[in-house]
Structure 1
Amino acid sequence: MKYSENHTIEFSECDENQRLKLPAMVDLLMQVSEHQLENGAAGTNDLMKRGLGWVVTQYHFDIQSLPHPQEQVVLSTEASGYNRFFEYRDFEIATSDGEALVTAQSQWVLFDIKNRKMVPTDEELMQRFGAPELKKMPRFPRLRAQKEYDSSRKYRVRYDDLDTNHHLTNGHYFNWFIDMFDRDFLKDHVVKTIDLKFDREVRYGETPLSLIKIENEDQIKSYHAIEDEQGNEQAICELIWRKND
Structure 2
Amino acid sequence: MGTSTVQRAGPWGLVAATGVSASAVLLFALRLQLPGYAVLLAALVLAYATNRALFRDLLLIAVGLGIISTISVEANIDYANIALMGTVLSLSVLVPYLSSRYVYREHAIRFPIHTGQRWTTLEKAYLPIVVLQGYLILPSYFIGSGAYQNWPVVSAPDEIARLFVGVGFVGIWDELFFICVAFTLLRRHFPDWQANLLQAVIFCSFLWELGYQSWGPLLTFPFALLQGYTFARTRSLTYVVCVHLLFDAVVFLVLVHAHHPEWLDIFWY
**TM-score, normalized by length of structure 2?**
0.26
Higher fraction of helix: 2
Higher fraction of strand: 1
Higher relative contact order (CA 8 A, sep 6+): 2
**TM-score, normalized by length of structure 1?**
0.28
